[in-house]
Amino acid sequence: MKNTFVVLFCLFVFTACQDKETVIIPSGKVKVIGFLASKKYLSDPDRFGVLKILERSEGYLDNGDRLHVKILSVEGDPLKDFNDLVQTPDIIAVISFLGSKEMLSLKDAIQEAKIPLIITTATHSKLSGIKYVSRICLSDRSEANVAAAYLRDELYIPEVTVIKDSKDVFSQELSALFVQRYKQLGGKVGLTIDSAEFDQENEFISKLIDEKVDTLYITTDAHKSKLLLEQLQKAKLEVKILAYDGFISDFLSQYPYDAKMLNGIYVVDNYANDLKLLPKAAKIAKEISKEGLRIDTYDALSYDAWMLLKQSLNACAGLEDECLNAHLRNTDSFEGAVDNLSMHEGDITRPVYVNEIEDAKMNMMVKVY
């Protein structure tokens, strides 16, 4: 009986210790994380609130070192701003929300600085393979494959018209990869229309009507996409539309009062609004909600980048900088917002979602592994 009591007591103590959160004693040391984003991206005031909550809730490493965000808005020369940022004392890594064009211009500077950089929105394929770059968003090729397969194999669409921006490197590559994959799947690409044609509204709409276009794949930014949607609605022309990942976040950041224009549009994305958050992310989402902040795909990617970086820093405590970069680029598993994710040679392996937009939210249609 005595032995049984001892065993039960030990089990009780062990269980209590397991349930109790680990107390981290601050070391007094600070590690700076650079946050690089365009002025347009940071014009959304909710961005700062979400970052501050991340810093507050998940801002200590296991050894007590504190993580601090230094935000830099890129308004002119990305190269100058990046070089200024990496000279910040105690900086250990940079999380970037710059697009493909800006990131491509930084390739050589990143190699020279030798500071690990996590990409959250730049999807261009030429960014793969850079030693100090880890990408947690979809690549253009991955996204194009999912988009083509969904339209061809799920919706059985025989012919698609592609809307692109010939002056945007992201739009150029994504459109080209989509066309290539769609044709491989036996589909037909009827027209490829440059967004510059939107300026000739009557001719542009007449072309869609004459060609009996009923499905569009669009890779244009929020501003040009809004022009397109306005012209379609004015002409009362109903078409199916599939757009790229980040489309709804980009659109609502700039045009929050025009959300109804997006109803019925399909999007390929890293997330859907009806996904269940994992415990840590759910806790932070609750804090975000209490403070009245809006959260979208970009914020969820911020969370994923933060958790990848934090896990890698804990694994490399006291070791050289190369350890951190190695862990960021090759990690078997880390806890993201809604899934356990992994990194392989700087590119992420993650589920992809095709969603339908309704009332400014993305409802999941298909999950692709």
- Read off the pLDDT band of 295 (50, 70, 90): confident
Spatial separation of the C-alpha atoms in residues 261 and 357, rounded to whole Å: 10
Instruction: Give the rounded distance of the alpha carbon of 170 from its chain centre.
Output: 14
Spatial separation of the C-alpha atoms in residues 275 and 337, rounded to whole Å: 10
Taking CB atoms within 8 Å and a gap of at least 24, the contacts of 276-280 are 276/338, 277/337, 277/338, 278/335, 278/336, 278/337, 278/338, 278/339, 280/58, 280/307, 280/335
Q: Which two tokens stand for residue 239?
A: 């078409």
CA torsion through residues 286, 290, 293, 294, sign: positive
Other Cβ atoms closer than 10 A to 215: 19
- Give the 3-state secondary structure of residue 308: helix
Strand partners, 125: none
Q: What is the pLDDT at residue 38?
A: 84
Mean pLDDT of the chain: 89
Q: What is the pLDDT at residue 320?
A: 65
The Cβ-side half-sphere exposure at 350, using a 13 Å CA radius, reads 26
Other Cβ atoms closer than 10 A to 96: 26
DSSP string, 222-241: HHHHHHHHHHHHHTT---EE
Residue 19 has pLDDT above 60, yes or no: no
DSSP string, 130-151: -TTEEE-S--HHHHHHHHHHII
Q: What is the pLDDT of residues 172-188, one digit of tens each?
A: 999 999 999 999 999 99
**Structural domains for the chain:** 30-138+275-351 (3.40.50.2300), 141-244 (3.40.50.2300)
Instruction: Give the rounded distance of the alpha carbon of 134 from its chain centre.
Output: 13
CB of 33 closer than 8 Å to CB of 69: yes
Residue 15 has pLDDT above 80, yes or no: no
Q: What is the pLDDT at residue 259?
A: 95
Spatial separation of the C-alpha atoms in residues 318 and 329, rounded to whole Å: 19
Strand partners, 364: 355
In percent, the amount of the chain with pLDDT more than 70 equals: 93
Cβ neighbors of 286 (< 8 A, separation 6 or more) are none
